Structure formats: C-alpha cells, structure tokens
Amino acid sequence: MGYQNQHREWRLFQDYYFRLLDQLGSIAQFKQVRFRIKAKILLLDSTTISFCLSLFDWAKFRKKKGAIKLYTLLDYDGCLLTYIDMTDGKVHDATAAKEIVLPAESVVVADRAYVDFETLYRWHRGKRYFVVRLKDSIKFNRLEEKELPDNRHQHILVDEYIELLQEKTRAKYPKKLRRVVVWDEENKQTIELITNQFTWTANTIGDLYKARWEIEIFFKDIKQFLKIKSFLGTSPNAVLIQIWTAMITILILKYLKACATHGWCLSNLVAFLRINLLVKHDLQNLLDNPFQKNSDPPKSKYKQGVLFEWGD
C-alpha cells in the first residue's frame, strides 16, 4: 500500500472519476427540477481537514498544527463533484477562487468568503453569473429599488440595483450589481446577496443561495461515511489518492441511490451495503426491496460437518 501511494499518481484516480461521471452523471434520476432556469448551477465552498504536523509536515497551517483545504465546486444536479483543488490551510478562499474556470452561462453560488470583486468581474465579463453573500463592510450607493410583490414572497425584503462606493472596489467592479435582501426565518437573520443576474426573480436568487446548503451536506457525508478525516498515507500523493477514491465511492453510492425504487437516505444505504457486502444477492433487487424475505437456500445432499463424522 505504501509503495502504491508513493508511485501511483493521484491523477489516475481523478481521470477515472470524471470518466465515470460522464457515464453516470447524465441519468435522469440525478436531475433536480427545483429551478426553472437553464443555467448550470454550481455550488462553491471549501472545507478544512486537520492533520498532525509531525506526520504531514508539508501541510503547514499553524505553528503546531497542520491542515489542508479542499476547494470544491459541486453541480447542483445530483450534487456531483465537478472540481476539487487541495491547498494548505493558509490559502484564503478568495485567492483559490481565482484559479477556478467556470462553464459558460453557468451560475456559481458562494458564501461571503468569496467576495473578491476582481474575480467576480472576470466571471461577469465571461458571461458567468454569480450569487454571493455580501460582506457587511462593503459600501455601496443605491441606484434603483425594484417593486416587491404584495401577496407572495414576503421573505424578500429588498430588491435593488447598486454600485460600489469605495474607489478601490469600484475600480475592480465598475458595473452595477443587484442586491437582494432575504429574511432567514430559521436562523432569524437577514441575508444580503449580490448578483449580476438581473432577469430572474428575487425569490429565485434567494432560493439559489439557500441551495448552497447542499455542499455543506456533501462535506459532512464524505467526512462521516468515507473517513476523509483519517488517511492511510502521509504524502500529498497518498492524500489525493484517498480523496479521489472517496469521490469515486460517493459517486457510485449516489448512482445506486438514484437507481433504487426504495427511498434510501445516504447514511442508511451505506450501512445497508456494509452489512451485505459478503451476501450473494441481485444488487438491484436488494436495493429495491431491502426488507423482502429471502427464500431458503436449496437443500444439499451433503450435510455440513460430514468430514468430521467418525465411522463405527
């Protein structure tokens, strides 16, 4: 195992993941129809994984602590990974976002850690859309306030056009932006969003940001079910091999979940497959009818333990 982690390049596993994604990711069961927009919805965020610095000396974070960050782009259709990058724990989210290339006509949804107006303007010029939570420190001028509907979407508080006020930020993003303020009833707070998309409804903008929670669930799943928090090898190559192996695994699990007629949640599916790893069954039937009583095995003319019977 140590020899393979050292000599087998991690890109082999990355390439295999994307080949598998091409084959499995297009099935209809993966598609979500929550949003009536044609743009590809991409969820952007990062997660930090802590290391013991004495073992992972390349993953420097603090004086006595090691860590890496996984920058992840998730396709909202099926919550399938489309991009991942690993850096040390000191790299800022906005810095890592500069390296991301988005598909044309896509919309990226991100938290306020990714408010970098130089990057946002590059996306805008490339005809990519964004929905990002606005930092409280950003100053702006109001240009025009849009009228809100009287009888629906009462959680939308503000829908307006703005321009950046500070000279440095306005130089990085000289165009107008749309600001949407949403009331989050669950957490009892207001959420301020900015976007370069001016035709969708304010409710759609708010729902897109709400969908960003799916990437948090994705991070929880890979850490809880696929043991991404503990690694078998200590080199960067070994860590990336295990990460991409986990991505292949979760892709296959989501494929099985999507193909099954039984309404699985991912945690139950993982536990069920672990229990039945050494059981010989038709997999599709097992996934569709997990509680079906199996028929008794055919009787054999040989008795178990016959080799141990003593003659007279």
Percent of the chain residues past pLDDT 70, beyond the cut: 90
Q: Kindly report, residue by residue over 156-182, the tens digit of the pLDDT.
A: 999 999 999 999 999 999 999 999 999
Provide the CA 14 distance to its chain's centre, in angstroms.
Answer: 16
Q: Cβ(178)–Cβ(197) under 8 Å?
A: yes
Per-residue pLDDT band for 276 (boundaries 50, 70, 90) equals: confident
For 251, the enclosing helix (H) or strand (E) is helix 236-259
Structure confidence by residue, pLDDT tens digits, 65-74: 888 889 999 9
Q: Rounded distance, CA 171 to CA 36, Å?
A: 34
Helix (H) or strand (E) holding 163: strand 156-164
Do 108 and 44 meet the contact criterion of CB atoms below 8 Å apart? yes
Specify the range with the lowest mean pLDDT, choosing from 114-118, 134-138, 295-299.
295-299
Residue 100 reports pLDDT greater than 70: yes
Number of neighbours of residue 73 by Cβ within 10 angstroms: 22
**Higher pLDDT residue, 234 or 19?**
19
Q: Rounded to two decimals, what is the model's pTM?
A: 0.84
